């Protein structure tokens, strides 16, 4: 099975994301394909699985950013599933993104009174935390490497 994906680079100093506008493609084995099929209907579970999967991380380290060990990245899109709103949401973003985040963050306010701008600001507050959970740090863990050497 083929995975097509796009990434965003995270600028820690500026605390912002920049779209890497390249579409990457990789082949995955049958077992991983089965896991993908199982998780694709639950976007954040899919994300967390990829974030923790050696096959995916190694591919990015070796094929996508081979010369940049300190890069922090996030997955923007994977096949037809998009995570862009986590990094690029703004108060003026479309209604579908509001509905998604209201459910995700349990921003369940009485819609008969609430201003869109207030909800948007609340979503951004939640995203400040959530984004940090999604960032994938490609930094080589020197401690582990040195421990490995000793072993």
Under the binding rule (CB under 8 A), the answer on residue 97 touching another protein is: yes
Q: Measured from the CB of residue 120, what is the shortest distance to another protein in angstroms?
A: 9
Under the binding rule (CB under 8 A), the answer on residue 16 touching another protein is: no
Q: Measured from the CB of residue 64, what is the shortest distance to another protein in angstroms?
A: 19
Residues in contact with 148: Cβ distance below 8 Å, sequence separation at least 6, in sequence order: none
Strand (E) or helix (H) holding 22: strand 16-27
- The pair of three-digit structure tokens given for residue 147, joined into one six-digit string: 């421990």
Residue from 54, 67, 110, 145 touching another protein (CB under 8 A): that is 110
Under the binding rule (CB under 8 A), the answer on residue 95 touching another protein is: yes
Contact 83, 47 (CB under 8 A): yes
Which 117-136 positions form the footprint of another protein (CB under 8 A)?
117
Under the binding rule (CB under 8 A), the answer on residue 84 touching another protein is: yes
Under the binding rule (CB under 8 A), the answer on residue 89 touching another protein is: yes
Helix then strand then coil, in percent of the chain rounded to 5, is: 50, 20, 30
| Residue 90: Cβ within 10 Å count | 10
- Judged by CB under 8 A, the stretch of 22-30, 34-42, 101-109, 132-140 that binds another protein is 101-109
């Amino acid at each position: 099975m083929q995975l097509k994906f796009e990434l965003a680079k995270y600028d820690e100093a500026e605390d912002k994301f920049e779209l890497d506008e390249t579409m990457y493609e990789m082949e995955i084995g049958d077992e991983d394909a089965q896991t993908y099929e199982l998780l694709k209907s639950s976007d954040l579970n899919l994300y967390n699985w990829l974030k923790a999967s050696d096959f995916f991380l190694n591919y990015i380290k070796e094929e996508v950013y081979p010369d940049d060990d300190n890069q922090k990245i996030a997955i923007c899109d994977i096949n037809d599933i998009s995570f862009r709103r986590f990094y690029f949401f703004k108060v003026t973003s479309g209604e579908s993104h509001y509905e998604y985040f209201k459910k995700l963050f349990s921003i369940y306010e009485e819609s008969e009174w609430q201003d869109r701008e207030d909800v948007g600001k609340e979503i951004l507050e939640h995203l400040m935390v959530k984004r940090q959970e999604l960032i994938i740090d490609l930094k080589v863990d020197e401690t582990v490497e040195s421990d490995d050497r000793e072993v």
